[in-house]
Amino acid sequence: MELIVARGREDLVKARRAGTVALVPTMGALHEGHRSLIRQARVRADQVVVSIFVNPLQFGPNEDFSRYPRTFESDLDVCRAEDVGVVFHPAAEDMYAPDRQVSVSAGEMGRIVEGASRPGHFDGVLTVVLKLFNLVQPDLAVFGQKDAQQLALIRRMVADLDLPIEILGAPTVREPDGLALSSRNRYLSGDDRRVALALSRALRAGAAQLTPAEIRRTARAVLDEAGPGLDLDYLALVDPATFTEVSESFEGMAVLAVAARVGSTRLIDNVTLTLNPA
């Protein structure tokens, strides 16, 4: 079927087919990680809508909004190859009126871990995701575990605001050497890329340990070994539902999350592990 490009609500209404709709929100520069989300959406719904929008609200003043990769034509090819029904590609002026007032607050959970490094980021994410939900009106939306705190906050928003949408979390897609795919990986030089491998290596080494203290210490040691080319922002072992640090006696699933700057590029990654299994 022909791929439809929608720019606004009217286009979306016209493009809507009978049956269920799954939304895959993205900022474009599509890679295999996005493709795996699209495939999961396709098996779960009759029609897949992929949104491509570099959301100015979720970038801080010193972040990479203006240099964020924009590859719309090749993104359309990816969407055609993946049998996507609709690409929603709004203009920033259409999404945000100059006099807009009301937005979503991510609350305390939006101010810790990743949110502590990026003030306002998660408010911007939740605001755009709620707008996308209202515009597309999907039955289901798919998000990557790669952005684990984002996924947790979207689940929180759906619960706290009673949104009638099912949220599906999808596993992180990696390069064969462990590097998590990211649109920002294209900024890494050859040397940067080698240094960047310390993130996934540290997470694997940490996840192989048994106690929170050992997990944190082991992962930290691997990051320290990477040398001055890696500027660690945080390493956190948290409860996946709240993103608060877990105690030594915590039982159940936990997320080991890392953020670091490599060269001029800020990278994040995480793994899920089980602590103190019965």
Largest pairwise CA distance in the chain: 55
Q: What is the dihedral of CA 235, 26, 180, 145, to 10 degrees?
A: 60
Q: Which of 15, 23, 34, 128 is catalytic?
A: 34
Query: Which residue lies nearer to ligand AMP by CB, 220 or 261?
Result: 261
Alpha helices in the chain (DSSP H): 9-15, 32-44, 72-81, 92-95, 114-117, 121-136, 148-160, 190-207, 212-225
Q: Does 187 bind ligand AMP (CB under 6 A)?
A: no
| Among 85, 120, 144, 212, contact with ligand AMP (rule: CB under 6 A) | 144
Query: Which residue lies nearer to ligand AMP by CB, 33 or 212?
Result: 33
Query: Which residue lies nearer to ligand AMP by CB, 187 or 216?
Result: 187
- The answer to whether residue 34 is catalytic is yes
Q: CA triplet 26, 237, 151: central angle to 5 degrees?
A: 25
Strand partners, 49: 23, 86
Q: Does 115 bind ligand AMP (CB under 6 A)?
A: no
Contact at 8 Å (CB) between 28 and 69?
yes
Task: Point out which span in 30-38, 86-94, 198-206, 229-237 binds ligand AMP (CB under 6 A).
Answer: 30-38
Residues 196-235 that bind ligand AMP (CB under 6 A): none
What whole-number distance in Å separates Cα of residue 147 and Cα of residue 135?
Answer: 23
| Among 12, 15, 21, 33, contact with ligand AMP (rule: CB under 6 A) | 33
157 annotated as belonging to a binding site for a ligand:
no
Task: Point out which span in 34-42, 112-120, 235-243, 247-255 binds ligand AMP (CB under 6 A).
Answer: 34-42
Q: How many residues lie near ligand AMP (CB under 6 A)?
A: 17
Residue that the structure tokens 């684990």 belong to:
148
| Among 122, 143, 187, 243, contact with ligand AMP (rule: CB under 6 A) | 143
Q: Does 266 bind ligand AMP (CB under 6 A)?
A: no
Contact at 8 Å (CB) between 255 and 171?
no
Residue that the structure tokens 């072992």 belong to:
237
Contact at 8 Å (CB) between 215 and 240?
no
CA–chain centroid gap for 146, Å, is: 6
Closest distance between ligand AMP and the C-beta of residue 169, in Å? 9
28 annotated as belonging to a binding site for a ligand:
yes
Q: Does 147 bind ligand AMP (CB under 6 A)?
A: yes
Q: Does 146 bind ligand AMP (CB under 6 A)?
A: yes
Count CA atoms within 13 Å of residue 17 on its CB side: 16
Q: Does 26 bind ligand AMP (CB under 6 A)?
A: yes
Q: Does 38 bind ligand AMP (CB under 6 A)?
A: no
Q: Does 51 bind ligand AMP (CB under 6 A)?
A: no
66 annotated as belonging to a binding site for a ligand:
no
Contact at 8 Å (CB) between 99 and 62?
no
Contact code string over 165-184 relative to ligand AMP, x by CB under 6 A: -----x-xx------xxxx-
Residue 186 burial by Cβ neighbours in a 10 Å radius (0-12, 13-18, 19+): exposed
The binding site for ligand AMP (CB under 6 A) comprises 26-27, 33-34, 36-37, 143-144, 146-147, 170, 172-173, 180-183
Catalytic residues: 34
